[in-house]
Amino acid sequence: MRKCYATAAVLISWYLMLPPPVYPPVKDASGDYKMNTAAPMSQWLTFKTLKSEAGCKAQLKKVQPFYKCVSSDDPALKKKAPAAAGAPSVSTVSGAAASHMQ
């Protein structure tokens, strides 16, 4: 059973993440484009994929302070589906159709 845990640990990688740029593009006083550091992590861009947290943190020292190291299994990386206002869910529609088919 422990072999499964070891395998899962090997499959986890680390991402050096870059926040998305502000739209429309705006330059700050130093001439660099502003980044949207308040954006959800699911919208951030993967700058580099690394094998370990230590390797990611070593790369983090070489880049701008707004970059972040994130584990590939971090739930914040998953995009949330937007909820459509007033639209029935697929399960409701298919359930209603199935009940009328009988």
Q: How many domains does the chain have?
A: 1
* 38-59 pLDDT per residue, tens: 999 999 999 999 999 999 999 9
| Rounded-to-integer distance, Cα 16 and Cα 69, Å | 5
Residue 24 lies in a domain: yes
Give 32's pLDDT tier (boundaries 50, 70, 90): confident
Task: Tell the residue number behind the tokens 């070489």, with chain if given.
Answer: 62
Residue 15 lies in a domain: yes
Residue 33: strand, helix, or coil:
strand
Task: Tell the residue number behind the tokens 């007033």, with chain if given.
Answer: 86
Query: Would you state the pLDDT for residue 23?
Result: 85
Residue 28 lies in a domain: yes
Identify the domain containing residue 36 by its residue range: 2-79
pTM of the model: 0.62
Residue 87: strand, helix, or coil:
coil
Tell me which of 25 and 75 has the higher pLDDT.
75
| Rounded-to-integer distance, Cα 37 and Cα 19, Å | 6
Residue 33 lies in a domain: yes
Tally Cβ neighbours within 10 Å of residue 11: 8
Token pair belonging to 40: 């959800």
Q: What average pLDDT does the segment 30-37 reach?
A: 87
Query: Would you state the pLDDT for residue 33?
Result: 85
Asked whether the predicted pLDDT for residue 8 surpasses 90, the reply is: no
